[in-house]
Structure 1
Amino acid sequence: MPGDPDKPRFDVPVGLFEDVEDLKAQLAALTAQVQALTAAGGPDPGQTAADDTGGEGDEEDWKYPPFILLLESPEYDDELRALIEWVEGVLVPGYLGEPSADARWCPLWFEHPVAVARLHACWLAWQELTDPATCGYTGPSVWHRDHLDPCIRELRSPTGPMAGCTKGEHQIGHRLPIPVPSAYKSPTP
């Protein structure tokens, strides 16, 4: 009887069985890969199975984005130039209002190492979180909340790295702490 609820249905599309078999094969391959990686200690973070050639050039195949304070010339200069383009082309016109006593901004921000470090970190996050392929559509919101807002709040605060800079006056050394004598050195006679 066609309407018998106890009788199994055999009119399932053939393609469904093929899909199930494909999924089983993919699961078996992934399980084997996980077991092999676990037994071998796994690749370095960021390295995919396709990158794992076991040869000498592995480190050159994958590089993390460089943090600017860890670079030396000429790489530092190139990265700073790119950062300046982003800050002056995106950040300043889009997000910064007129500087004030409560919201500082130094036009020579690139001479303040703390500002360079914070803005570079914010820029690296922007590069990652504004690409829907890597972060979906919520990435820009996350970037604003977790990266831009805290960065700008710190940079523009009255105690931030630009605190000594006012309109027309630039002070680069205003945030350097006074050297504290080390407790580990014996006093010189």
Structure 2
Amino acid sequence: MADSLLPGSLAEDVEDLKAQIRALTAQVKSLTQPVGPDTEETTSDAPAPDEPDDDWQFPPFILLLDSPEHEGELRALVEWVEGVLVPGYLAEASADARWCHRWTDHPVAIARLHALWLSWQELTDPATCGYTGPSVWHRDHYDPCMRELRASSGPFQGCTKGEHQIAHRMPSLVPSAWTLSYMGLGAALSKP
């Protein structure tokens, strides 16, 4: 596996991107600040390019999280996938559009669906994206993600009737993947 695909390298790339964003933010701020005889040129508000900006946070990408943050993020993802995505968007699984009701057993599906969910959170909030956000989400995030996930060569390629042990059903009838994957955890949490 190439170094650029390893989680450590990914974390370094994220840190590099954060530094670049801070530098660009400072540059934009200095270029858009009014300068004239009646105004003072101040740059003390802008963080230095190498100075960490404590207010900025990157999205909690699920593959980079450790327990218990990972479990909390997965639980929230499962609620969104099963409460919004499956009943509202997915049709019956077929050879051309596969789906696995045990999608939490597929790490690639978790990663892609988590990225899709992060974009959903941002692009369905008019305060951050205006009113075109949902259209952008469908075009730039949902459609490509579903093409990759549901393709015959995607992570669910072995998950159709006759090829896999898991019986597939219409997505609206899919049992909770959270319950199936974490029955032991759910039972342990429900005990007094």
TM-score interval w.r.t. the shorter chain? 0.5 to 0.7
Match of 1:160 in 2: 154
Q: Structure 1 regions of 5+ residues with no counterpart?
A: 1-25, 48-57, 172-189
- With CA pairs under 8 Å and 6+ residues apart, which has the higher RCO, 1 or 2? 2
Report if the CA contact (8 A) 1:164-1:170 is conserved. no
Query: What is the identity percentage for the equivalent residue pairs of Structure 1 and Structure 2?
Result: 66
1:169 aligns with 2:165: yes
The Cα shift of 1:65 comes to: 1.7
- Counterpart in the other structure of 1:136: 130
Q: Quote how far apart the aligned CAs of 1:96 are.
A: 0.3
Q: Closer, same or farther in 2 for the Cα pair 1:79/1:38, shift >3 Å?
A: closer
Is the CA contact 1:118–1:151 (under 8 Å) kept in the aligned structure 2?
Answer: yes
Normalising by structure 1, report the TM-score. Answer: 0.62
Match of 1:68 in 2: 62
Out of 27, 34, 54, which is 2:34 matched to?
A: 27
For residue 49 of structure 2, the aligned residue among 17, 38, 41 is 41
Change (3 A) 1:40 1:68: closer
Paired residue total: 131
Please, which runs of 5 or more residues in structure 2 have no aligned partner? 1-32, 168-192
Select the residue among 85, 94, 99 that pairs with 2:79. 85
Give the Å deviation of 1:75.
0.8
Aligned equivalents of 1:31 and 1:107: distance in 2?
61
Q: C-alpha displacement at 1:27, in angstroms? A: 2.7
Equivalent position of 2:120 in the other structure: 126
What is the deviation of 1:63? 2.5
Q: Could you state the TM-score of these two structures normalised by the residue count of structure 2? A: 0.61
CA RMSD of aligned residues (A): 2.7
CA contact (8 A) 1:102 1:157 kept: yes
Looking at structure 2, the residues matched to 165 and 142 of structure 1 have their Cα atoms a distance apart, in angstroms, of: 30
Q: Which amino acid aligns with 1:32?
A: E
- SS at structure 1 position matched to 2:98: coil
Deviation at 1:114, TM superposition (A): 0.2
1:107-160 Cα shifts (integer Å, max 9, x gaps):
000110000000000000000000000001111100000000000110000000
Q: Distance in 2 between matches of 1:31 and 1:65?
A: 36
Query: 1:130 and 1:138 mapped to 2: Cα distance?
Result: 9
Q: SS in structure 1 opposite 2:127? A: helix
> Considering only CA atoms, is the larger Rg found in Structure 1 or Structure 2?
1
Amino acid at match of 2:41: A
